[in-house]
Structure 1
Amino acid sequence: MTTRGTKRFIWGFFILWVVLMAIFTFNDLNVSKAVFNEENSQFGRFFDVYGEHPAFLLLFAAGSILFSTVRGERLIKKIVVRLISGVFILLSGFSIVFIVLIRGYELDGGNVMLICLAIALLIAILSQWLLHRVPVEKLSQYNRAAWAAIAIVFAEIMVINVLKIFWGRMRFRNMDGDYSQFTSWFLPQGIQASGVTAEAHKSFPSGHSANGWTMMVWMLFMPFVIKWRNFMLVIAVAWGVCTSTSRVIMGAHFATDVLFGAFITITCMLLLCKVFKVDLYPDMKKNSSVQLKDKNAPNLS
């Protein structure tokens, strides 16, 4: 059953999103004209490089938790889980370093890929060494959240990239001076001449925004206390808003593009949290009763 705190979150998000979409649907082009500053915005540049990191860090953290918690399981289960989680650990670790080097420092070439892989492997080994010091019982409380996080990131990335290809909306920064190529978000243009490689026509929806708003999913890894979940919510909203705003400033997306990116991620999060039976705001009374029961249980060690 969805808790009261989670229901409040859902309704608050939905109402705010509808209001903002109603405003920006008729002001997309004017907003972009007013804030576009691709060449000189350090703010936009920073979030261009680091805005998507919450998604890849989630995959890394979730994979690391799952890899560590099966240390005492049967051999077959251990092999299967560690193969799956290991792939996510290395891919996400590689992506984190690769994005920084490519976008932040404009490095390229085969050596860069080898460096990224080596750093990812080193961090993965260090993470496992640290996690091995945490009791399995404590760490395994976040197993459901870890599987949910992997599913959420995978789902939002798939949905975003499929929609980009079929929507074909041109980015603001690629338009001619008269902006005659502007189209509203609700008028899909279909697959463009160059197909999946038509980067100029991949404005809707925003992948940066979608990945930035996965910062919300980090709420699942906070202690089961409302104040910590709210603290993470504030950080997530701040990061999501900054990443989304930066994409409009850089001319990569319109306001409605980033709103839809946020909508896709948060919708995936709410649906998949339901599937994996994890709540953004757990029932405090239920958790308290379980903890009290465990505390009063006889010591069988």
Structure 2
Amino acid sequence: MTTKGTKRFIWGFLIVWVMLMTIFTFNDLNLSKALYNEHESRFGWFFEVYGEHPAFLVLFAAGSILFSTVRNERLIKKIMVRLVSGLFILLSGFGIITITLTRGYGLDGDHVMINSLIITVLFATLCQWLLNRIAVQTLRQYNRAAWAAIVIVFAEILLVNVLKIFWGRMRFRNMEGDYSLFTSWFLPQGIQENGVTTEAYKSFPSGHSANGWTMMLWMMFMPFANKWRNIMLVCAVVWGISTSTSRVIMGDHFATDVLFGAFITITCMLLFCKLFKVDLYPNSQPNATALLKDKNAPYFR
């Protein structure tokens, strides 16, 4: 059952999104001309490097929770869950550090990959040591949220990258002043030459925006009191807007591209939270004892 808080969130999101999408549909090109500042904007550079981190961080957190909650389970179950969750931990941690070192510090080469892997393993070990100090019953309250978060992140990444290939919209910065190449977001251009590998025609939708808005998923890992989730929501909106704006400044995307990226992530979040029975805004704080009464319940319960 969808709570009143979640319903208000859904309606508020839809109204704001439709209004902005309507406005930017008719002002896409002019807005990009006004904001474009790829070579001098430190704001744009910062979010180009760090804007996508929330998606990797939520995967790391979700994987870490799932890895820890099976510590007292049967061997087969423990092995299966830890193989899956361990993979998410390594991939997300490796991604965060590699992106930071390559985009932020201009480093490359095999040593970057090796160092990223070592740092990931060390940090993951530290996290498990800390999580082992928390009761399994407490962590298990967030199992469904962890599984939902993993599915949401992978769903939005898959959708964004498939649409990029088939939409074929040219990025603003690649037009190099020839604005006759501009196309509206609702007119897909199809697969362009070398469309799978060529980045110039992958403007729509924005992957950075989609990943940046995954900070909303952190709401699911907040204490059940709604005030903490409201605080996290505000932080997520600020981060999402900042990341989205930075993509227009850098000329990587138009305003409608980043809005649609946000739409994909938030829609996936609402759909899969419904599927996994995770309330963004619980009506009241759940009874932990009742939630954990059935020890044999599935981990995505």
TM-score range, shorter chain: over 0.9
The question of 1:161 aligning with 2:157 is answered: no
3-state SS in 1 of match to 2:47: helix
Q: Quote the offset at 1:20 in angstroms.
A: 0.2
Give the distance between the partners of 1:32 and 1:198, measured in 2 at CA: 21
For 1:112, the equivalent position in structure 2 comes to 112
Q: Which secondary structure does the structure 2 equivalent of 1:6 belong to? A: helix
* 2:63 and 2:86 in contact (8 A); partners too: yes
Secondary structure, counterpart of 1:195 in structure 2: coil
Residue 260 of structure 2 is matched in structure 1 by 260
| Structure 1 counterpart of 2:226 | 226
Task: Answer yes or no: is the 8 Å Cα contact 2:248–2:254 preserved in 1.
Answer: yes
Distance change in 2, residues 1:201/1:291 (3 Å): closer
Report 1:130-169 matches (<5 A).
Answer: 130-169=130-169
* Residue 169 of structure 1: how far off its partner (Å): 0.2
Instruction: Tell me the amino acid that sits aligned with residue 134 of structure 2.
Output: V
TM-score, structure 1 normalization: 0.95
In 1, the alpha carbon distance for the partners of 2:176 and 2:212 equals: 29
- Paired with 1:144 and 1:96, the residues of 2 have a C-alpha distance of 24
* Structure 2: tracts of 5 or more residues without a match: 292-301
Query: How far has the Cα of 1:293 moved from its partner?
Result: 7.6
What are the equivalent positions in structure 2 for 1:27-106 lying under 5 Å apart? Answer: 27-106=27-106
Shift of 1:111: 1.1
Q: Structure 1 CA distance, aligned partners of 2:191 and 2:210?
A: 21
> Which residue of 1 is the match for residue 192 of structure 2?
192
Distance 2:58 2:290 in 1: 32
Q: TM-score if structure 2 supplies the norm length?
A: 0.95
Q: Does the 8 Å CA contact 2:168/2:195 hold for their aligned counterparts?
A: no
**Matched AA of 1:248:** V
The answer for the alignment partner of 2:215 in structure 1 is 215
Runs of 4+ in structure 1 deviating by more than 3 angstroms, as ranges, are: 290-294
Task: Give 1:177 deviation, angstroms.
Answer: 1.5
Aligned length: 291
- Percentage of pairs with the same residue: 75
Q: Letter of the 1:13 partner, please give it.
A: F
Compute the displacement of 1:291 (Å): 6.0
Q: What SS does the corresponding residue of 1:196 show, helix, strand or coil?
A: coil
Q: How much does 1:126 deviate?
A: 0.5
Unaligned runs of 5+ in 1: 295-301
Cα distance between partner residues in 2 of 1:177 and 1:244: 22
Which amino acid in the other structure matches residue 74 of structure 2?
R
190-199 or 156-165, larger mean C-alpha shift:
190-199
Q: 1:99 to 1:292 in 2, by over 3 A?
A: closer
Q: Distance in 2 between matches of 1:14 and 1:293?
A: 35
Q: Is the 8 A contact 2:97 2:116 kept in 1?
A: yes
What RMSD, in angstroms, separates the aligned Cα atoms of the two structures? 1.2
Give the distance between the partners of 1:216 and 1:21, measured in 2 at CA. Answer: 20
